[in-house]
Amino acid sequence: MTTKTKSFLLASLLTVSLVAMFGITQQQISAEETDEKQYVRGNDVEIHTVFSFRDAVEESSSFQLYDQISGFDRANESAVFTLEGAVNYDRVYLYEAADMTFVRGLSNVNHDYGKFDVDVYLQKDGVTFRQFEYSDCSISDYVVTTQSDKEEGWTTSKGFTTTDVFEFECNGYLPGNPLFDQMNSNVDKADTENSLDLRNTQTWNEAYQ
């Protein structure tokens, strides 16, 4: 093997090694960037919403903020709440509702997206802790804003997030406590005797004598 051939093989091996190392490094950087983009949720609680429009139902799990503004005093106020989250593809119908509300005006709700129902679920690991049912809702405000990490965002890698901020006003509001309901349901089942528990020779009257 000539010196020239040896040099060529050595250069080829070096190139392959560099390409492989570069690929691994890029994968590691990509994985790190993906991890950094994940939103941190306190106690891993996820906000899941279901919007029921006249001709469509849309579900979303991409809202990061949910705030109840009013509605607890049922006698004197309507239910108002806000949802905020990074712009996402799972709000197509909700975006249409916002646009139609702007075009028609806040007082004109005579269109397919003028009135709708909203269910908000607070979940963890697939378990719903709190459930809020809103009915006869409309969009009362909508803005797009950009959030930063507030730590020299223009000059560091902290980054920015373009977010939707929706405000809703609803005529109906009903909170739910699914875990409590399930607990009571289990207690009722335990306290109620089933007909299968009776001996073959027993009747219901005999069982309680």
Round the average pLDDT of the chain to a whole number and report it: 78
pLDDT tens for each residue of 138-165: 999 999 999 877 555 555 667 788 999 9
Portion of the chain with pLDDT greater than 90, in percent = 51
The pLDDT of residue 111 is 87
The pLDDT of residue 175 is 95
pLDDT tens for each residue of 27-43: 554 444 445 556 777 78
The pLDDT of residue 32 is 47
The pLDDT of residue 22 is 46
Residue 13, classed as helix, strand or coil, is: helix
In this structure, which amino acid lies at residue 50?
Answer: V
C-alpha distances (whole Å) from 42 to each of 65, 106, 122, 134, 182 are: 11, 35, 12, 24, 24
Cα 62 from Cα 139, distance rounded (Å): 18
- Is the pLDDT confidence value at 48 over 90? yes
Q: What pLDDT band is residue 75 in, cutting at 50, 70 and 90? A: confident
Cα 129 from Cα 182, distance rounded (Å): 11
For the structural domain made of 42-184, what CATH number should be given? 2.30.110
The values of phi and psi at residue 101, to 5°, are -65, -40
For the segment 89-112, the average pLDDT, to the nearest whole number, is 93
For the segment 178-190, the average pLDDT, to the nearest whole number, is 79
